[in-house]
């Protein structure tokens, strides 16, 4: 699903209803897009959990190795990884009961996205969560 197939209302609903984001592929490097996007979302009141092997602290939060290790329920799985690993992430997101699968710009996998939809997840593909939040919901 790309932006042309999702409404602003659907984006607003997901970003208003859900506040806990597991960020798969969050880099500790402030120059990486995943860091900047996650820093912004945290500044907007979202709870961020980095999902990255290595157990390092990123944005003041201890990273975890997998979605299964994220404490508490996961609402949004925000993915900054190559498209070829999306099927495994989708399987894990389904297992942990995530509500939304958000694939960042340049990340798509139509087969895995359809599997996520059939499992009840709302899917946003090839969209930047920061850009969509800033456009539709930014605190003025």
Kindly report, residue by residue over 43-67, the tens digit of the pLDDT: 999 999 999 988 789 999 999 999 9
pLDDT over threshold 60, residue 140 = no
pLDDT value of residue 1: 40
Where are the extended beta strands (E) located within 11-139? 20-24, 47-51, 57-58, 61-62, 76-79, 100-103, 122-124
- pLDDT band per the 50, 70, 90 thresholds, residue 138: confident
Give Cα 62 distance to the centre of its chain.
17
Q: Is 6 exposed, middle or buried (0-12, 13-18, 19+ CB in 10 A)?
A: middle
pLDDT value of residue 139: 62
């Amino acid at each position: 699903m790309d932006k042309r197939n999702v409404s602003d209302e659907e984006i607003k609903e997901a970003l208003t209803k859900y506040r806990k984001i597991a960020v798969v592929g969050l880099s500790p490097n402030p120059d990486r897009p995943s860091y900047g996007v996650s820093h912004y979302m945290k500044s907007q009141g979202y709870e961020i959990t980095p999902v990255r092997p290595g157990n390092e602290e990123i944005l003041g939060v201890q990273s975890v190795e997998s979605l299964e290790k994220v404490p508490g329920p996961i609402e949004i799985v925000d993915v900054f990884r190559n498209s070829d690993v999306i099927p495994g992430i989708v399987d894990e997101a389904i297992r942990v009961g995530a509500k939304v699968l958000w694939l960042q710009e340049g990340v798509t996998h139509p087969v895995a996205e359809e599997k996520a939809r059939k499992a009840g997840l709302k899917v946003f593909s090839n969209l930047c969560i920061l850009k969509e939040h800033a456009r539709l919901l930014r605190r003025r």
